[in-house]
Amino acid sequence: MSENATLFVNAAQTVTCAGPARARCGPEMADAVVRADVAVLVEGDRIAAVGDHQTLRNTRVDAFIVDCAGGVLTPGFVDSHTHAIFGRARYEEQELRAAGVPYMEIARRGGGIHASVRDLRARSEADLFEAAAPRLRALASSGVTTVEVKSGYGLSLEDEIKSLRVVQRLSQSLPMRIVPTWLGAHEIPLEFRERANGRRLYIDLLVHEMLPVVARERLARFADVFCEPGVFTPNESREILTAARHAGLGIKLHADELEAGGGAELAGELNATSADHLAAVSQAGIAALASAGTVATLLPGTMLFLGKTSQAPARRLIDAGVPVALATDFNPGTSPTTNFPLILTLGVSQLHLSVAESIVAGTVNGAAAVGLAARTGQLAVGFSADLALWDIHDVRELPYWYGAGRCRASWARGKPCHSHDLALTFTG
């Protein structure tokens, strides 16, 4: 045999999420395809078979064995929305919010995104890499094997390119799959807000200077815009995203996070790959997403950390036929968590999803939200060997033990990505 083989055996449950290689919606999200007494055979970086242990053992007698010891085996999770390239934390803002200072007022005072921009601009590429690498390893330790990483704290040509080059270095040095997204339109930088016609000048910089470099150097797969009242308008977002699509990038939006501002409607109009946040999405926005098949990426950790009493209307989205994904929104200001199972907990307890819906939202639909539904998100023949092994005996325990570190190990493209358990070594 030309490829190394690994056989995963003795899992109490194997959650395959097997099915169509696309986003799941409506009733499809309710079936994560949980199987007992099956093994998973990996050859090289692909899943070769899912079936009877002895049959697969006879197929590849040379396979290394991973004994799952009665744990639960799942696809590796896809965290489809993170902002992992930043410097210092912004813990002081949590106290301000507790004292009643609104998010947008903190931003007006120079906090929020602007604080991270000032900090990032003062840091070297090497400094940012050293800060980001352990954060992504922490995500891997919570079962994440594919992660989207955005720029967006540079907001200048030099600093956005610097951020995306850090993402590129991370992709080359870590085993997990990393999807880079250009988010130059995360905010209007303060130096432009203070200038006459500054908004127009910054949009021109994005479209005519920054985007061509990003596209030419192939530094991003997607472009994203923060389409929200007080940030970028739907018309401004349309201009930036249309230019990005013409440059060969996929498109995503931060939409309707705090107010209904037409972001979801724009995402539907543009057939965006995903629209993210959506805590304040309108009924018209839901209809637009459903019509376009755009993935609604919900970020319940953000609303929890901001102290909001409302969450995105997950049930209305699913009932309308919108495919729903879950992600951490890992960032220094509003969701400083790398704990993906905690997001599943919030999916169940705050968004009122079933466990199966939460699992599908974090695997198949997360993959669809970054254009990878044909490659990862399920344990099925031909898919990438992205797996996570959990120290539980029933998948319903995964969101139940909230905040617990139950991931024993994860593999990305067949290679070990993380291991809590030194006893989990390959044996012949």
- What residue segments make up the domains of the chain, in order of their start? 5-75+376-419, 78-368
pLDDT at 34: 98
pLDDT at 421: 64
pLDDT at 3: 78
| DSSP 8-state assignment for residue 262 | S
pLDDT class for 274, splitting at 50, 70, 90?
A: very high
Q: Among 64-73, 102-111, 168-177, where is mean pLDDT lowest? A: 102-111
pLDDT class for 63, splitting at 50, 70, 90?
A: very high
Segment 238-252, tens digit of pLDDT: 999 999 999 999 999
pLDDT at 108: 78
In whole numbers, what is the pLDDT of the chain averaged over residues? 95
pLDDT at 104: 77
CATH architecture label of 5-75+376-419: Roll (2.30)
pLDDT at 122: 98
Q: Which residue type does 169 have?
A: R
Whether the domain at 5-75+376-419 and the domain at 78-368 fall into the same CATH topology: no
pLDDT at 427: 43
Segment 97-131, tens digit of pLDDT: 889 888 778 877 878 999 999 999 999 999 999 99
- Evaluate if residue 66 carries a pLDDT over 70: yes
Q: What is the 3-state secondary structure (H, E, C) of 127-167?
A: HHHHHHHHHHHHHHCCCEEEEEEECCCCCCHHHHHHHHHHH
Count of H-run helices and E-run strands, the chain: 18, 18
Contact between residue 18 and residue 363 where contact means Cβ atoms under 8 Å apart = no
Segment 140-156, tens digit of pLDDT: 999 999 999 999 999 99
Q: Which helix (H) or strand (E) covers residue 296, if one does?
A: strand 295-298
Percent of the chain with pLDDT strictly greater than 90: 91
pLDDT at 105: 85
Distance (Å, whole) CA 287 – CA 40? 39
Q: Among 17-26, 324-333, 414-423, where is mean pLDDT lowest? A: 414-423
- Evaluate if residue 354 carries a pLDDT over 60: yes
pLDDT at 422: 44
Per-position b or e across 60-80, b if 16+ CB within 10 A of its CB: beebebbbbeebbbbbbbbbb
- Evaluate if residue 347 carries a pLDDT over 60: yes
pLDDT at 294: 98
The mean pLDDT of 251-263, rounded to a whole number, is 96
How many C-beta atoms lie closer than 10 Å to residue 174's C-beta? 18
| DSSP 8-state assignment for residue 418 | E
pLDDT at 1: 42
- Which top CATH class is 78-368? alpha beta
pLDDT class for 2, splitting at 50, 70, 90?
A: low
pLDDT at 426: 45
| DSSP 8-state assignment for residue 373 | T
- Evaluate if residue 362 carries a pLDDT over 90: yes
Residue entry with tokens 């610097």: 162
- Evaluate if residue 64 carries a pLDDT over 80: yes
